Each structure stands twice: as structure tokens, then as C-alpha cells.
Amino acid sequence: MATVYLARDLKHDRLVALKVLRPELAAALGPERFLREIRLAARLQHPHLLSVHDSGEAAGQLWFTMPYIEGESLRDRLKRDQQLPVEDALRIARGAAEALDCAHRHGVIHRDVKPENILLSDGHPLLADFGIARALRGDEQLTNTGMAVGTPAYMSPEQASGQRALDARTDVYALGCVLYEMLTGHPPFLGTTPQEVLARHTLDPVPPLRASRPDLPAALERAVFKALAKAPADRFATAGAFSEALTAAPPGPAAPLSRWWTRRPALYAAGAVAILALGYVLFSHRRFTGGVNPSGGPARSIAVLPFVNLSPDRNDEYFSDGMSEELITALHAVAGLRVAARTSAFAFRDKNVNASQIGRELNVGTLLEGTVRRAGSRVRVSAQLINAADGYQLWAEEYERDIKDVFAVQDDISRAIVQALQVTLAGAANVPLVRRSTASPEAHDLYLKGRYFFGQRSEPGLLRKSAEYFEQAVRTDSLYASAYSGLSDAYSVLSIWGYEAPREGFARAKAAAQRALLLDSTLAEAHTSLGIISLYYDWNWPAAEQALTRAIALDPQYAPAHLFQAWYFLITGRADVAIREMQHARELDPLSLIINTRVASVFYYAHRYDEAIAQLRKTLELDGTNALAQAELARAYLQAKRCDEAIAATRFIPPSLPNPEGAARGYAYALCGHRAEALSALGDLKKQAQRGYVIPAKVALMYAALGDKDSTFAWLERGYAGRDAFMTFLKVEPLYDTVREDPRFAGLVKRVGLEP
């Protein structure tokens, strides 16, 4: 609308903001009309109102001056903080309402109340630019300039429909929108085009504030809803009445939400057409700046943060987590969009970290966050897309559906994100991004529970619970490929970690993976599942390579496929390639504890111990209690001949750690000359073996450290007979160096298939 300069008023020796209208606007308005309206605004005086100092015309240019205020605009504050404390939001809204009430009593309607026009000087709100929108209103000549009267996100329904006879209640509506944004972090109605935003103001119900902030007092929500009533007659009659209602609604505890869903009112086609037509007229010459800079790099990258469970049942977190995971999978399918892995994105759950820090740590330009609320057969999902650089909202939407339509909701969200990020979809525009993996809501719910407990796999009970839910899912829907893949992974991990005997556990895992691929050969997770089994149970290296390569081709951003492909390269003697592939997995999932630990593991197996130690120290900065990282650190210290540090690291390893790393305390004592302590640890391990399955390699490594070759090979033979997954590391495990020259070792390596 204008170019704004910081200038000095020479007559009064003061700094002012000098606004010079664009030439095409000045020509359309004419000086007489413009100066008449500005003079009317200049007579307004109020503590919360930024009045006009002076105005004039020079060489065809129209200008006016306003006081120069040191501070920031409300928009700047919202960019920084998103949601404001309730006390701050109420103070700012009350001040703006009082300024509007003063103006309205003098016959002046603002018509463009928005965060950019509310200035904050030491927190004191000042409403600016009175009279400008009034001067611009309703002139047909202005449509040729590409300017619109008002801002779509804050325009009342009557203003959006082009009514010329507006009154004070249109400003009340706009201020209600501003207050809504201060409380929730986004205006009440958003869309991917200005036309869509205008239509929503007229047709859509106001989304409840307490869906985003359950702690808000009910009286405050009622006041905002009244200000945002569709019909002017249903709003506060004056801005002063709005201010009084806000004064009567101080911050306090929220009452419980009642029945939370409301059905959308019927859509009136004629009204929608009128709104869209108006939008076209007003905005056809303007560029809508609601998207992200499309210039590659971080702008085309996203992290889907764990959606917050707002359901009455706190145990429904599995459902909100599942929604986030499935959106990650869907967005992986979009060419040109880089998506942070689930583990890294979920690392920020319940942490007070701002958007810019998350963006830096995950190397993404945008964040998707949201809430999920279930009640009976209904589900409401609120989602918003955030610019990680400044925390400013780019897009937001709310969806309410029957639970059976959850895939449609996910597809709607995915497509809105793609459009907001200006990423071109490959293939037909009507092809769903989210695969409808099952027609059964019950099976899908069970699958989400399985994924939830699989993600919490810190103990065997959670893994078994995960497998149970996957079993129930495939019994409910025998054609559910993703559930079969999840079942395969659960049994594979149970077998690798030693919670199940490999022959039984891997047999179940293999049957499930094959069934998944039979049902859906395009599922990257299922190919990864089969690759894991080929690698650790079948010892079929070509089949493992084929399956993992296919998984990566189907989903290049699926970090587990890169993780296990790195293990494949290591096991088959290509350590340098394994290191590169594991580092690539970390790039995809930078905050994953397991991947960061396994980057160090491949350094360890490649005899690059100092690099392994440095990496493990970084990993332990993420979680100093991680037992697997401590065990790997002890092993690396041992090989670096740093016994004291190795033994110190083993003190953090629980005896129950199932992997061979769980024997680190025993072989650290043995290699560092503490034989009695080593034998004691070995005795404890053999007692465990009498009670149930123990990974044979775990015992063999302790005997190797003690120099007992016969016992070492006896346990390795047990590992070979039982298809112990850790037999695949025979060639690369440094702890076997004490028996490597024994002829029995070469024969065993050959039988495992690690020699040509």
C-alpha cells in the first residue's frame, strides 16, 4: 500500500514514520478524498491509538506521518512466540478494543485490524493506520491496482462479501480473529488460497480454541466465539462491550470440555460462489504469500512431530503417534520432499524446544505439528505447518471425520502440505498419497497399537505386546500387508536380541514377511523385513542385498533399510561402504539413538576405535543412560587398550542386556586382568542359560576373552546349530582375534557362508 520511511519532522524535531502511498493508489484516490479521510483519523486521540500527525500531497504523491514507536508489531511477537500467555493476549486485545471503541464513537471504522497494525511499545498496545482502509474502500478504480480492502485472515463475512455499509462490528470480528491467533498461534480460518480463506469465514464454524489450548477459561472462549459470530447482530454491539467481556474473563483453570464435536452447517452454494468470485476479483492480481520459498534445500523438507493426544483417554497416545507415523510414510512418497525420520522427529516429544532449534537439529525447513482427539467413532485432527526459521505458521486446518475415514484425513493433510510447500506431485493429482492399507477400522487400530509398542521396545514385554497386537490385526484383516510386516519385525527383533530362540522366532518372522510381500510387493518395510531375515537367519547374502536394495528403491528415505544395508556391507567385508551407508542412515534419522550407536559400531568393527569412541561420546550426550551405547564404548576402550575407562563404562550396563554387548563387563574384566570378576560374570551368564535361551555368541565372547578356546568353539557350535544372528559377525569381531588362527575358526566361518 505504501513505502514507509523513518524520517525527522524538522518543524518539531522528532522522529516520525513517513508513509508514501503507491503512485497507482494515489492516482486512483485523488488528493482531496484521501486527505479528507486522513484528517478525520487525525482527530482521534486515545492512549491505545496511534494517531496521524500530518498529511499532504507533493508532486502527485500522497503521504502522511505517524509517531515513530520503538518496539515491535504484534506480528513480530507472534512470529517469535506463536502462542502468547493468556494475560498478554487479554491485555493487548483489551487495549485494541478500547482504541476501536473510541474510533467508532467518532464515526471511524478501521476495516483492517490485524497483527501488523497493532504495535507494542514496552508491551503497551497501539492500534495504527486508522482511516487508510476507509479511504481505500469501495472504489472500482482500485481493482486495477491489485489492492484489496482488508486482509483475508481477518475479514468479517460481510466485508468478504463486498458489502459497502460496514459498521463497528466488522472491526469486532477482526479483533476476535487477532485474539484467536494470539491464543492458538494461528487465525481461526486458513487455507491454501485467499479465496478459500474468504469462503471459510462465511461458511465454516469457528474451531474451538480449547482444542489447541485446553487450559483456556471457558468464559474467554465464549467471548471470542461471540466476537466471531457470522451474523453481525450476534456479535458484541460495540468494541467496548467486547473489552468488558474480556475483562470479566480473567485467566483461570478451564472447565472440562463437553461433547466436543459439532457438525458443520450446510454449505450454501450460492454464497460460496459469491465469496469465491469476490476473492478472484480482489486477488487475481496479487501473489498469495502463504507458501514456503520453493527454492530447494530446507524449504522442501519437513519433520512430522508427534501429534498431541487430546482424547479423554490418555491411553489413546498410540493413535496420535500412529497418525504422525503414517503421515511420515505418506510424505516419503512425494518426490522432491525430504522427510525427517520418525525416531528423530519424536525425540522432541514433551520438550520445550522452539521451532528454529528443531529445524537446525533435523536440518528441515518446515515442521508439521497437530493434535488428535477421539470420542466414540469420531476423530478430530488439527494440523499446522510451521516455518522452522521463524516459527510462523504457514498453513493450518482442522478435520473431523468418522474413524473409518482416517486415511482420507491423512491424505487431505499430506496434499495440503505438498501444496503449501509447492512441491510438484509425480503422477496423477487424484492418486492418493496415503495408501488405504486396510478397510477395517478395528484392524487399523490394532496395527497402530502394535507400532506404538514396537517403538517403545526397551524390554521383551513391550516387544511381545507389539507382536500380539499385530497378530490381532492380521486376524481381523487377513489382507493387511503393513500389519504382517510389523509382525515380522517384532519377531525378528525378539530373535536377534535373544528373547526368542532364532529358529522359532525367525520362522514366524519369515512367514509374515512373505505374506506381506504377497499382498503388497511395493511395501518398502516388507522388503526390509525380508532383508533382515535373509541377513541374520538365512545367511543368504545375495537375497539380503536384493531385498534391501529394493526397499531403498521404493523408499529412499526409509532409514531402517539403510541401517541394515550397512550391516550387509560390513558382514560381507566392505567396511568402508558400510560406514558410508550407516552415516547416510544417520543423515535421514539424526537423533536416532540406535543409528548413532551403530555408526560407532561400524567404526569399531573397522578397527577405527578412536572414531568409535568419539561418536559414542556424542551419542551419550543424547542419552547418557543408554546401555547399548555404554557397552559399545566399553568394547571400543578395550580395543584401544584403555582398560580403566572400559571397566568404568561397564558399570552402566545392566546384566539383563541381551545382545553380546551385555557380556561386555565379563570380557572387560578378563582382558584387563581381573580374572576372578570375569569368572563370576561368566557364572551368572551360564545360570541364565539354564533358565532359558541365551545368545551363544554372548557366552563364546567371554570364553574367548578368558583364553578358553575349546569352550569358545563349543558355544560357537551351539550358535551355528541354533542360527544365532551374531554368527554373522565372526569375520569382523575383534574379540575373536584370540581364536582366529585356530583351524576350527576358518571352518566355522566357511560354514556360515562368509568365505567364497
Where in the sequence numbering do the catalytic residues fall?
112
Contacts of 344 (CB under 8 A, 6+ apart): 303, 361, 362, 589, 590, 591, 592
Contacts of 566 (CB under 8 A, 6+ apart): 578, 579, 581, 582, 585, 598, 602
Round to whole Å and give the CA distance between 135 and 38.
8
Neighbours of 644 (CB within 10 A): 9
The SS3 call for residue 118 is strand
Neighbours of 166 (CB within 10 A): 21
Taking a C-beta distance cutoff of 8 angstroms, is the pair 331, 302 a contact? yes
**Helix runs in 73-217, H state only:** 74-81, 86-105, 132-136, 157-160, 168-184, 194-203
Round to whole Å and give the CA distance between 358 and 345.
9
Q: What are phi and psi of 125, to 5 degrees?
A: -80, 140
What's the Cα-to-Cα distance from 55 to each of 21, 32, 41, 448, 570, rounded to whole Å?
Answer: 11, 11, 11, 64, 76
Site of grid cell 514366524: 508
| DSSP one-letter code for 49 | B
Which of 240-244's residues contact partners 24+ apart within 8 Å by CB, and which partners? 240/97, 240/98, 240/101, 242/97, 242/172, 242/175, 242/176, 243/93, 243/94, 243/97, 243/98, 243/101
Q: Which amino acid is at 397?
A: E
**Helix runs in 421-501, H state only:** 441-455, 460-476, 481-496
Round to whole Å and give the CA distance between 204 and 159.
16
Taking a C-beta distance cutoff of 8 angstroms, is the pair 302, 339 a contact? yes
Q: Which region holds residue 226: left if phi is over 0, alpha if psi is between -120 and 50, else beta?
A: alpha
| DSSP one-letter code for 433 | S
Taking a C-beta distance cutoff of 8 angstroms, is the pair 712, 741 a contact? no
Contacts of 735 (CB under 8 A, 6+ apart): 635, 667, 701, 704, 705
Q: Within 13 Å of residue 322, how many CA atoms lie on the same side as its CB? A: 23
The SS3 call for residue 533 is helix
Q: Within 13 Å of residue 737, how many CA atoms lie on the same side as its CB? A: 6
Round to whole Å and give the CA distance between 396 and 197.
11
Taking a C-beta distance cutoff of 8 angstroms, is the pair 694, 719 a contact? no
